[in-house]
């Protein structure tokens, strides 16, 4: 029941503050051994909180080579929802990378930097701090953040660090990253007669149907062109496969028949039809 009450008031507190960092007591078992007393365990939690508060205040008050100020902190933390604060210290050859990894993967924090939309980090080292070391630390943080995250960084030179490098990270905007709608994945078209149309949504199918109806209507009212006349050009006469006998055509006589003696006895008006026939 106490856990439910704590979760309920945590949600209420989120609406009243710009950013909220929680440290579950169960995470203490990951950083202390079995012989650690409960007082010492809570001191570890207090030290984490101290580092967080001090880290934020140092970002604002301590001047740096690449300076961060209150405006940068305000930009990242205002209305940011769930947030995380991490501080890592590294030494040796890969000190910058080790410090960055320790800062973004604090075992005491409820969340890690994965998916953060806003990140503010600072790299602190001695005068021997190298440019490539700062770049390596930045790459570790960048790879763990959201691809669209707003990242602001600074650098402080502190000769008291000697051969150590400290990386301070403030990551916010986890709620916004989780609430972003994921891009819809279009299902692959089924291997059917409809082809790619099976992968379209309802509106796309309606649009395709309307286009198809218009195409059919245009086809129905299309005037069919008249067929082209056959080619009348003369072609060479082919040799018939069957031999035909020649046909003799007898000439018809067109000579006018001679009048006989009897024609004289016929009156001229009766002979007229014969002349017309001629």
Residue 203 binned pLDDT confidence (cut-offs 50, 70, 90) = low
Average pLDDT estimate for 31-47: 83
The CA-CA-CA angle for residues 21, 22, 26, to 5°, reads 155
Compare 30 and 96 and report the one with higher pLDDT.
96
Q: Is the pLDDT of residue 236 over 60?
A: no
Which domains can be identified in the chain, with CATH numbers? Answer: 2-179 (3.30.1330.20)
Residue 246 has a pLDDT of 55
> Comparing C-alpha atoms, which of 63, 57, 60, 113 is closest to residue 86?
113
Residue located via tokens 């709620």: 175
State the pTM of this model.
0.54
Question: Is the Cβ–Cβ distance between 198 and 189 less than 8 Å?
Answer: yes
d(CA 120, CA 104): 12
β-strand pairing of 81-82 with 84-91:
unpaired
Compare 143 and 188 and report the one with higher pLDDT.
143
- pLDDT, tens digit, for every residue of 241-259? 555 555 555 555 445 555 5
Compare 29 and 135 and report the one with higher pLDDT.
135
Compare 202 and 130 and report the one with higher pLDDT.
130
Instruction: Give rounded-to-5 percent helix, strand, coil for the chain.
Output: 45, 15, 40
The CA-CA-CA angle for residues 134, 140, 141, to 5°, reads 90
- pLDDT, tens digit, for every residue of 79-129? 666 778 888 899 988 999 999 998 888 776 666 777 788 888 999 999 899
Question: Is the Cβ–Cβ distance between 166 and 88 less than 8 Å?
Answer: yes
């Amino acid at each position: 029941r106490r856990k439910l009450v704590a979760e309920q008031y945590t949600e209420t507190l989120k609406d009243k503050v710009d950013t909220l960092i929680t440290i579950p007591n169960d995470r203490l078992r990951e950083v202390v051994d079995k012989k650690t007393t409960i007082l010492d365990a809570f001191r570890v939690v207090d030290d984490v909180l101290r580092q967080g508060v001090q880290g934020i205040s140092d970002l604002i008050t301590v001047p740096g080579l690449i300076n961060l100020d209150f405006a940068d902190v305000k930009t990242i933390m205002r209305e940011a929802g769930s947030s995380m604060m991490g501080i890592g210290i590294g030494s040796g050859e890969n000190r910058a990378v080790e410090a960055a990894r320790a800062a973004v993967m604090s075992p005491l924090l409820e969340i890690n930097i994965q998916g953060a939309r806003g990140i503010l980090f600072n790299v602190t080292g001695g005068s021997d701090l190298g440019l490539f070391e700062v770049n390596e630390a930045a790459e570790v943080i960048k790879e763990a953040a959201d691809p669209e995250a707003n990242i602001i960084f600074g650098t402080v030179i502190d000769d008291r660090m000697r051969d150590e490098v400290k990386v301070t990270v403030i990551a916010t905007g986890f709620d916004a990253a989780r609430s972003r709608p994921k891009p819809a994945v279009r299902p692959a078209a089924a291997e059917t007669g409809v082809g790619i149309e099976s992968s379209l949504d309802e509106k796309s199918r309606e649009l395709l149907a309307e286009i198809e109806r218009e195409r059919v209507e245009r086809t129905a009212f299309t005037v069919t062109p008249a067929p082209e006349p056959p080619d009348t050009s003369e072609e060479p006469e082919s040799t018939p496969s069957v031999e035909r006998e020649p046909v003799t055509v007898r000439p018809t006589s067109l000579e006018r028949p001679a009048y006989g003696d009897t024609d004289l006895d016929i009156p001229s008006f009766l002979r007229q039809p014969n002349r017309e026939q001629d």
